[in-house]
Structure 1
C-alpha cells in the first residue's frame, strides 16, 4: 500500500516517528484548539497505542506520518479511527507542524487519507471534529468537501475552559 502523491507520502507510524509525535502533542501552541498538551509519559502511551498492527475491527487510531518526498522531512501526521464498525464510519484527525501549515500539506494528506479510507478500507463515511476557533482546520475540512453537520456546545475541555466544536462529515462518493 503506497499513499503518496508527487510531494508527500503517508507512512504508517513506526518507532522513529515518536519524536515528531512528541514535538506536536506536547506543544501548547500546537494543541491550543485540540486538548491540553500531554506529558512525556502520556505521549509515549498514546504513541505506542498507534503503532501497527491495525485491523478494521480495532477501535484504536491508525496513524501515518506525513513525509515530504524530496527531503524526507516529517511535516505532521494524520490518523483514522473506526467509530462505528457496522456503519463503516471513521473519525479522521490531523496535526501539521507550524512550519508546514498553509502550504497545501494538510490538503494533500487529507486527499490521500480519503482515498485510503474509501477505496482500501471501504468505509462509508468520515467524520472530523475541530474547535470553532480553529479556522485552519475547519477551512481545510471544507476545502476537502467535508460538510459542517453541527456545532457541539461545550464539547471539549481545554485549559479548564469548555470549548465548542464543529462536527464535520463526508460520505463516500457514489
Structure 2
C-alpha cells in the first residue's frame, strides 16, 4: 500500500513500503552530481555533461514544483530502512503529457526500486494532479529501463533510428507511452 503525504505546503513526500521520495533540495547535490558523472549510470543515457551543465540542471530542479512549473519535478529516492539516498525520479509536463525519468546508483540496480518508485510517482501524479498521459524516451540497449517502464504499464509506441549520440555512436530512441485511466499496473 502506498501512502501520499505532504510534509508541508512546500515539500511533497511520497512513501512506499520500502522507499521515501521527496523533492530535491540543495543538500542533495552530492547524489545528483554522482549520478550524472558515474559511467555505470549514464552509459546508456547520455555523455557525461560538463560540471557547469550538471550544476545548472541541478539548480533548475530546486524551485518548489507545481503542476504549472516548466522545470522537472525531481524527487530524491531514499531507503526507508536506512535513510540512504539511492537515486532520483520525476517528470516534467509538456503539452499535457508528463515525461518521466529516473536514475539509480549502480548498487541499487535490479532490486525493484525503479518499478516501485515509478508506480508510486504515477499514482501520485494521477491522484494529486489528474495527470493521465505519460511518456519516456529510452536509449536503444537500455533494457533495464525498458523493463521498468513495461512493468509500470508503458508500451513502446515508436522507435526513432539513429536519433541520439552517446560516445560517438548513434542509438535509436525508444518512445514509451502510458495512459492512466485510474489504474496503475
* TM-score (ref. length: structure 2): 0.88
Residues 112-134 of structure 1: CA deviation (Å, up to 9, x unaligned): 11012111121120100101200
Tell me, yes or no, if the aligned pair for 2:16 and 2:117 is still in contact at 8 Å: no
Unaligned runs of 5+ in 1: none
- Corresponding position of 2:3: none
Q: Which residue, out of 50, 56, 65, partners 1:39?
A: 50
- How far is the alpha carbon of 1:39 from its aligned partner? 2.2
Task: Give distance in 1, aligned partners of 2:30 and 2:179.
Answer: 34
- How far is the alpha carbon of 1:5 from its aligned partner? 1.1
Q: Which residue, out of 103, 108, 113, partners 1:95?
A: 103
SS of match in other structure, 1:60: coil
Q: Which residue, out of 146, 163, 168, partners 2:171?
A: 163
Task: Give distance in 2, aligned partners of 1:154 and 1:58.
Answer: 31
* TM-score (ref. length: structure 1): 0.94
1:25-36 correspondence to structure 2 within 5 Å: 25-36=36-47
Task: Give distance in 1, aligned partners of 2:71 and 2:154.
Answer: 22
Residues 15-55 of structure 1: CA deviation (Å, up to 9, x unaligned): 11111110010122211111111222211111000112222
- Corresponding position of 2:113: 105
Residues 132-157 of structure 1: CA deviation (Å, up to 9, x unaligned): 20010001111111011111112212
- How far is the alpha carbon of 1:96 from its aligned partner? 1.2
Instruction: Please identify runs of 4+ aligned residues in structure 1 that moved more than 6 A.
Output: none
- Corresponding position of 2:71: 60
Tell me, yes or no, if the aligned pair for 1:65 and 1:77 is still in contact at 8 Å: yes
Across the aligned residues of Structure 1 and Structure 2, the Cα RMSD in angstroms comes to 1.2
